[in-house]
Amino acid sequence: MAKNLVIVESPTKVRTIKKFLGKNYEVMASQGHVRDLPKSSLGIDVDHDFEPKYITIRGKGQLLASLRKEAKKADRIYLATDPDREGEAISWHLLAALHADPTKPIHRITFNEITKNAVKEAIKHPREIDMTLVDAQQARRVLDRMVGYRISPLLWAKVKRGLSAGRVQSAALRIICDREEEVAAFIPREYYTLDLFLRAEGLTKPLMAHYYGDSKGKREIESKDQLQEIVASLEGANYVVSSVTKSKRERKSPLPFTTSTLQQEASKALNFAIQKTMRIAQQLYEGVDIKGSGTVGLITYLRTDSTRVADEAQAAVASFIQNNYGQEYCRRYHAGKKSGTVQDAHEAIRPADLTRMPSQIKDSLSRDQFRLYQLIWKRFMASQMANAVYETTNVKINAKDTVFSTSASHPIFDGYTLIYVSDDEKDQTDRQNLSKIDKETKLDFQSFEEKQHFTQPPAHFTEASLVHTLEELGIGRPSTYSPIVSTLLKRRYITKEGRSIFVTELGQVVNDIMKESFPSIVDQNFTANMEGLLDGVEEGRVAWKSLVRNFYPDLDASVRKAEKELEKVQIKEEVSDVICENCGRNMVVKYGPHGKFLACPGFPECRNTKPYLEKIGVSCPICGKDLVLKRTRRGRIYYGCENNPVCDFMSWNRPVSEACPRCGKYMVVKGNKIVCSDPACGFSKIRDKE
Q: How many residues in the chain?
A: 690
Q: Of the listed 25, 78, 285, 301, which one is catalytic?
A: 301
Evaluated on CA atoms 511, 512, 513, 519, the torsion sign reads positive
Q: φ, ψ for residue 410 (rounded to 5)?
A: -140, 150
Q: 639: Cβ–Cβ under 8 A, 6 or more apart, which residues?
A: 616, 627, 628, 629, 630, 650, 651, 652, 653, 654, 655
- Cα 615 to Cα 469: distance, rounded to the nearest angstrom: 36
**What 3-state DSSP class applies to 443?**
strand
Strands 190-200, 207-214: pairing kind: antiparallel
CB 404 within 8 A of CB 237: no
CA-nearest of 555, 600, 474, 662 to 146 is 555
Helices 478-490, 463-473: inter-axial angle, 10-degree rounding: 130
- Cα 351 to Cα 374: distance, rounded to the nearest angstrom: 9
Q: Is 19 exposed, middle or buried (0-12, 13-18, 19+ CB in 10 A)?
A: middle
CA-nearest of 89, 98, 102 to 133 is 89
- Cα 131 to Cα 126: distance, rounded to the nearest angstrom: 15
- Cα 628 to Cα 113: distance, rounded to the nearest angstrom: 56
**What 3-state DSSP class applies to 298?**
coil
301 assigned to active site: yes
Q: 221: Cβ–Cβ under 8 A, 6 or more apart, which residues?
A: 191, 192, 193, 194, 211, 227, 230
Residue 218 CA to chain centroid, in angstroms? 36
CB 531 within 8 A of CB 476: yes
CA-nearest of 217, 140, 162 to 548 is 140
CA quadruple 509, 511, 516, 520: dihedral, nearest 10:
170
- Cα 397 to Cα 238: distance, rounded to the nearest angstrom: 10
CA-nearest of 439, 341, 425 to 382 is 425
Residue 461 CA to chain centroid, in angstroms? 8
- Cα 170 to Cα 610: distance, rounded to the nearest angstrom: 31
Other Cβ atoms within 10 Å of 571 Cβ, number: 9
Question: Which residues carry out catalysis?
Answer: 301
